[in-house]
Amino acid sequence: MIISSLDRVAETKRKIETREARIGIVGMGYVGLPLALLFSGERFAITGFDIDDRKVQTLNRGDSYIVRISGDEIGSAKKAGFSATADYGRIAEMDVVIICVPTPLNEHHEPDLSFVTSTVNSIAPHLKEGQLVILESTTYPGTTEEIVAPLLEQGNRSGLRVARDASSQGFYVAFSPEREDPGNDTVARRDIPKVVGGCGPVARELASAVYGTIFNRIVPVSSPAVAEMTKLLENIYRCVNIALVNELKQLCLRMDIDLFEVIDAAKTKPFGFQAFYPGPGLGGHCIPIDPFYLSWKAKEFDFDTRFIELAGQVNIAMPYFVVENIVEAMSQQCKALHGSRVLVLGLAYKRDIDDLRESPSLTIIELLRKRGAKVEYNDPFFASVGQGRKYALNMTCTSLDQIPEFDCVVIITDHTQYDYASIVKQAKLVVDTRNATKGIEAANIVRC
């Protein structure tokens, strides 16, 4: 029996509405796993794909490797049909495939799409008629239509093409940017509007239907490129404003003005101002990276994103600024950094999460080591840290009981678990990059 494209689209929508659609999510990380749990909560049987056998085995045991996700949540999802696999051959069983893999920068600060392309090449042979493929990974405008769609067509064993309308044969492709904010409990995931752009109206309609089961508002846009640019705008907006306050912090320190007090006063204005706060540098998978994705793509159009690149440069320089302040603070105590013991508090890129991606702590530790400091760390979320994509720490967590033994304690991540008054009382010197010691007056505190 030959099924028309129109009938196949209608059948897919029916299966979405009745929760019969099989959804595969590629990449069981900080984006993919929470997404899988959202769909599982809506009674979908979800298959999680990942090339990391450790993650696959952990999930299939009903355990979690992300602090904010409990083992109970994984267990409940398993009872609802969730399972994990490294077998990409099972892509053929799915009605919807969602790609949530990293898009980092290479050593030259250029886009590294190797995770996306390798994933696409792995799933392409197994795609079948009528399937919907959605990319969620943050990237530059044009990636979905210029890279992902052609690779899916080239690698498909059946010779299927991207279907651009309801009358076309093939599979459907869309882009919908992730909007995860680890550690943010003020906005429920369901209440975060979901932007969707498809390669054609049918792909957009199907993707909207899928996400409409777990998000309260869908924002359809005219193309994947618009959706891709939307994500970049959101994060570049934050990057630029963080760069602004980071630069102002350096000026205010010279002027002996408390920038945090300035920000608190400015945010009383009920319009035209949004508070951003300075820090030791940017972390996470989006804000430190997204500006460079757009700057790189802009060169294809003979356009220099000077304003965006300047913001990126300011933020990249912050770990170096922190280290110089540590050197100065120690010299005021007649101590040289070389040979001194330094304790870094907080490895995660922001408070109360277990995420090291692009964390400024990693850069600061590396810089301190290069200057001859004996560096150790404490972070309640990391008992040990080995080697990652851009770091090789091979360190274990140091007990806070040892604080008096260190020449300097540097607060990089202001976890709420820390008793800052006690830390200040015990430490010889505290360099605070997060204003975590606000309200504590002591001669051994240096804020930078």
Write the CATH number for 248.
1.10.1040.10
- For residue 298, being part of any structural domain is answered with yes
Same domain as 148, residue 244 = no
Same domain as 140, residue 187 = yes
- For residue 81, being part of any structural domain is answered with yes
Residue type, 350: K
Same domain as 431, residue 342 = yes
Long-range contacts of 393-400 (CB under 8 A, 24+ apart): 393/362, 393/365, 398/343
State the Cα angle at 304 between 301 and 309, rounded to 5°.
135
Same domain as 129, residue 32 = yes
Per-block average pLDDT, block size 10, for the chain (448 residues)?
69 94 96 96 96 96 93 95 97 97 88 96 96 96 97 95 88 95 84 97 97 98 98 95 97 96 97 96 84 93 94 94 97 95 96 92 95 97 84 91 97 97 97 96 96
Same domain as 180, residue 93 = yes
Where are the alpha helices (H) located in 256-289, listed in sequence order?
Answer: 259-266
If one counts every other C-beta atom within 10 angstroms of the C-beta of residue 222, the result is 11
Same domain as 182, residue 103 = yes
Known catalytic residues? 286
What letter would DSSP give residue 405? Answer: G
- For residue 412, being part of any structural domain is answered with yes
State the total domains in the chain: 3
Assign residue 395 the CATH number of its domain: 3.40.50.720
- Smallest CA-to-CA distance from 44 within 18, 14, 63, 69 is with 18
Q: Which residue has the tokens 């001194």?
A: 340
Same domain as 51, residue 170 = yes
Q: Rounded CA gap, 97 and 113, in Å?
A: 18
Same domain as 202, residue 137 = yes
Boundary-marking domain end, from 314, 347, 364:
314
Give, to the nearest 10 degrees, the angle between helix 318-332 and helix 360-370: 50
- For residue 342, being part of any structural domain is answered with yes
- For residue 227, being part of any structural domain is answered with no
Q: What is the largest CA-CA distance in the chain?
A: 85
Residue 221: phi, psi to the nearest 5? -125, 170
What's the pLDDT at 263?
97
Boundary-marking domain end, from 267, 294, 314:
314
What's the pLDDT at 1?
44
What's the pLDDT at 4?
64
CB of 48 closer than 8 Å to CB of 33: yes
Q: Which residue has the tokens 């356009």?
A: 303
DSSP line for 83-136:
EEES-GGGGGG-SEEEE-----B-TTS-B--HHHHHHHHHHGGG--TT-EEEE-
Same domain as 247, residue 121 = no
Boundary-marking domain end, from 295, 314, 333:
314
Range of the domain at 401: 317-447
332-346 burial code (b ≥16 CB/10 A, e <16): eeebebeebbbbbbb
- For residue 440, being part of any structural domain is answered with yes
Residue type, 318: M
What's the pLDDT at 9?
86
If one counts every other C-beta atom within 10 angstroms of the C-beta of residue 2, the result is 4
Same domain as 201, residue 273 = no
- For residue 13, being part of any structural domain is answered with yes
- For residue 171, being part of any structural domain is answered with yes
Same domain as 193, residue 66 = yes
Same domain as 257, residue 272 = yes
